[in-house]
Amino acid sequence: MKVVIFAGGLGTRISEESYLKPKPMIEIGEKPILWHLMKIYETQGFNEFIICLGYKGFMIKQYFMNYYLYNSDVTFNLQTNSFEIHQTNTEKFRVTLVETGLNTLTAGRLKRVRQYVGKEEFLLTYGDGLADVNLQELISFHRSHGKIATVTAVQPAGRFGLLGLDDDNRVSSFKEKPLGDGGWINGGFFVLKPEVFSYLPDDADLTMWEQTPLEELAHAHELVAYKHHGFWKCMDALRDKEELERMWQSGQALWKIWK
């Protein structure tokens, strides 16, 4: 099963770093967040990726073009302009990089990779969200209901502590950064049947996947939510990047399901 990853957005809310590189190439523990995301899939048996490029997509191409060399022991003979690979430590990724346009919105990006997806079920997610989702359980759930689309629903941690107040404004309880407010949000990690492409409009380049297509799928009762109760974190802003970095450096990276 192939994995499609949205990796073409501008990342304006983390512009401190994204003006230099595409958002999925921002590093956590000296590895791009895109690499962390792909490891989540590879560890669970999915190693064929289709990456939707846009803003500074050439940097993602350069990264994978040189990946094997960067992760190998090499002897260079400058006199003969040759080199010898001694030992390598690379992943089993098979990566198709697709130019989907600088200003194309997410529905358009998905539509532009249709030829690479083929006529089988596929996985879809965003290039800035990490989780310890059990993908086999997700896929089994998707196949059990027979609908076109499954979205992983998550409850992100709140940004602030929650105060419980009584009638006299005394604090009766305090909970630091509780999980959401009881609501569920789109956490990415979709499973989709190829019929989903019929829900992408003719003007898909101007359409957000998260709006008209998902709204119409929901209206047609073809969208079902898989509730994920484990770890999930989106790198939406610089503070999120710093939090993920702290988790990685402290050995508490809950998305790291590989050895």
**What is the DSSP-derived secondary structure letter of residue 103?**
S
Contact 53, 98 (CB under 8 A): yes
Is residue 14 predicted with pLDDT exceeding 90? no
pLDDT computed for residue 128 by the predictor = 95
Is residue 167 predicted with pLDDT exceeding 90? no
Is residue 147 predicted with pLDDT exceeding 90? yes
Confidence of residue 20 (pLDDT cuts 50, 70, 90): confident
Report the pLDDT averaged over residues 200-229: 96
Report the pLDDT averaged over residues 55-75: 94
Task: State both tokens at 45.
Answer: 């048996």
Contact 190, 125 (CB under 8 A): yes
Residue bearing the bigger pLDDT, 234 or 179: 234
pLDDT computed for residue 178 by the predictor = 64
**Residue type, position 129, single letter:** G
Is residue 174 predicted with pLDDT exceeding 70? no
Pick from 212, 195, 240: nearest CA to 26:
240
Task: State both tokens at 125.
Answer: 């997610």
Q: What is the pTM of this model?
A: 0.90
CATH superfamily membership of 2-249: Spore Coat Polysaccharide Biosynthesis Protein SpsA; Chain A (3.90.550.10)
Can you say how many angstroms the Cα of residue 198 is from the centroid of all Cα atoms in its chain? 23
Phi, psi angle pair for 24, to nearest 5°: -65, -10
**What is the DSSP-derived secondary structure letter of residue 120?**
S
- b/e burial code for range 199-227 (CB count within 10 A of at least 16 → b): bbeeebbebebeebbbeebeeeebbbbbe
Task: State both tokens at 244.
Answer: 């993920």
